[in-house]
Amino acid sequence: MTRLVAVLVWAMVLASAATAADAPAGTTSCSGCHPAQSGVDTPVPPLAGRNPADTLRQMQAFRAGEVKTTVMDKIAKGFSDEEIQAIAAWYAEQK
């Protein structure tokens, strides 16, 4: 549990380094676990630099309940397709 807390704190520190003004609304829901920089060691799959179509497809599958997870199926329900597209595109541009 301590390691998980440390990872989450580290992810939030890294996320705060990203320029919030450039990030679309809702990105803070993602950046707590998915750092905005690639090459960061994290227990969750990285989104930075990822093909936005893959991220969009996965988020839609979470939202539809096709993929069960501990958290993502619940989080994804709070986003519209447009919001998911904007977040996926923003993460794809992060290096």
Amino acid at 72: M
Nearest CA to 49 among 23, 88, 83, 10?
88
Q: Number of C-alpha atoms within 13 angstroms, CB side, residue 93?
A: 10
Write down the pLDDT at residue 12: 45
**Predicted model pTM:** 0.70
**Is the distance from CB of 31 to CB of 15 less than 8 angstroms?**
yes
All domains of the chain in start order, with CATH? 2-93 (1.10.760.10)
Handedness of CA 90, 29, 48, 74 (dihedral sign): negative
* Tens digits of pLDDT across the chain (95 residues): 455 444 344 444 344 444 444 889 888 888 888 888 777 788 888 899 999 999 999 999 999 999 888 899 999 999 999 999 999 999 999 87
